[in-house]
Amino acid sequence: MKWLEACLTSVLSQELSDGQSLEVIVVDNGSSDQSATFVRNRFPNVQFYEMGSNLGFASGCEFGVIHSTSEFILFLNNDTIVPDATICNLLSEIGERELDVIAAREAPYAGGPSTLARTTIDPLGFPAHFSTGETRGNDESFFLSAVCLLVRKSTYLESGGFDVNFFMYFEDIDWFWRLLLLGYKFDYSRNCTVQHAGHGSTGGHGANYQRFLWRNVNLPRMLLKNYSTASLLWVLPLYCASCLLEATALLLIGRRDLASSYVKAMKPFYESLDVTLGKRKEIQRSRTVSDRVVFARMYPYSSKFRSGWGQLRSRWSTS
């Protein structure tokens, strides 16, 4: 609830061009505080829906899309503040640049410029974020942050949207991988930013068991759905080896809870395997882009190693 006042106030105060109107939909995904009462009393003009229980990020987004009547959909996290005229500028830019999807760049919640330059993944599916000034090869992002994301409703529906089997995490990367395979165009805005706190509804930053579990269920689903068979033959063994190494390292540092998430993830992964394979069949049949194009958008090395090395360098520079 603590995020909603600033977020909804910033949305409802947006300046729009002539002929444009704003339809605001709030989906309550099983909140456990007074969010529902607060929104109904403080913002009676928004469309408010209660899911009844937490069905996950993808399901919440899907529910909002189904109940919308607008040509464009703006997905927005609740722990955000949207600067003046952002929505109007995103609508203009998506048309001017002939994009199918556009995202505002993330900036600090307290204010300040964005340093985000590119978001991509390594061949094993682990995200890599590059800041302004970093050497990053291909400047095209593999996926866009779903924190503040504008898309035509028709594009979202025709591409299949977020996979509702992904309860939390990687549903955005999975969808953008599919958009890439289908030949859609997407990019970050050149000028628009959104102030974002990050993990506002999931307990803040840092490693926790639930976050690891969701990742270890959804990441292999994503790889299985979107890679060609030839690519899977070498990617999956490397992914399994990577998981084994990381689980071993977690055990050595005393994080048995995080290490156990790899084993616990096997059950939900295999329980949904038939559904995942069915979606894979459809994706591979309809794709128009080869894995050569896919790999060109990726960070060619290990994102985990890059992240770990960056943390070590940061510690050395401050010691």
Q: What is the CATH number of the domain that holds 81?
A: 3.90.550.60
Residues 233 and 192 in one domain: no
What is the predicted pLDDT for the residue at 279?
A: 97
Has residue 314 got a pLDDT over 70?
no
170-194 pLDDT, tens per residue?
999 999 999 999 999 999 999 999 9
* Two tokens, residue 59: 């399901």
**pLDDT mean across residues, the chain:** 90
What is the predicted pLDDT for the residue at 310?
A: 42
Q: What percent of the chain has pLDDT over 70?
A: 91
Residues 38 and 146 in one domain: yes
Would 295 be classed as within a structural domain?
Answer: no
310 phi/psi in degrees, rounded to 5: -65, -40
Residues 138 and 263 in one domain: no
Would 203 be classed as within a structural domain?
Answer: no
Residues 190 and 233 in one domain: no
236-274 pLDDT, tens per residue?
999 999 999 999 999 999 999 999 999 999 999 999 999
Would 201 be classed as within a structural domain?
Answer: no
pLDDT bin (cut points 50, 70, 90) of residue 206 is low
Q: How far apart are CA 296 and CA 273, in angstroms?
A: 28
* Two tokens, residue 207: 């490693």
Q: How far apart are CA 4 and CA 2, in angstroms?
A: 6
Would 294 be classed as within a structural domain?
Answer: no
List C-alpha distances in Å: 153 to 3, 58, 66, 158, 161. 26, 15, 9, 9, 10
In this prediction, residues 90-104 reach a mean pLDDT of 97
Has residue 87 got a pLDDT over 50?
yes
Contacts of 260 (CB under 8 A, 6+ apart): 209
Residues 126 and 255 in one domain: no
What is the predicted pLDDT for the residue at 116?
A: 87
Count: domains in the chain: 2
What is the predicted pLDDT for the residue at 203?
A: 55
Would 158 be classed as within a structural domain?
Answer: yes
What is the predicted pLDDT for the residue at 199?
A: 64
Q: Which of 196, 218, 241 is the last residue of a domain?
A: 196
The 10 Å Cβ neighbour count of residue 78 is 20
Residues 290 and 180 sit within 8 Å (Cβ to Cβ): no
Would 96 be classed as within a structural domain?
Answer: yes
Place of tokens 């996979």: 163
Residues 71 and 157 in one domain: yes
Q: Could you tell me which residue, 260 or 207, shows the higher pLDDT?
A: 260
pLDDT bin (cut points 50, 70, 90) of residue 20 is confident
Would 273 be classed as within a structural domain?
Answer: yes
Alpha-helical runs (H) found in 144-197: 153-158, 171-181
Domain that holds residue 230: 209-287
Residues 103 and 79 in one domain: yes
Contacts of 95 (CB under 8 A, 6+ apart): none
19 phi/psi in degrees, rounded to 5: 90, -10
Contacts of 17 (CB under 8 A, 6+ apart): 88, 91, 92
Residues 159 and 182 sit within 8 Å (Cβ to Cβ): yes
Residues 68 and 182 in one domain: yes
Which among 239, 204, 202 is positioned nearest to 32, based on CA atoms?
A: 202
Contacts of 139 (CB under 8 A, 6+ apart): 117, 118
Residues 211 and 202 sit within 8 Å (Cβ to Cβ): yes
Answer whether 0.85 is exceeded by the pTM: yes
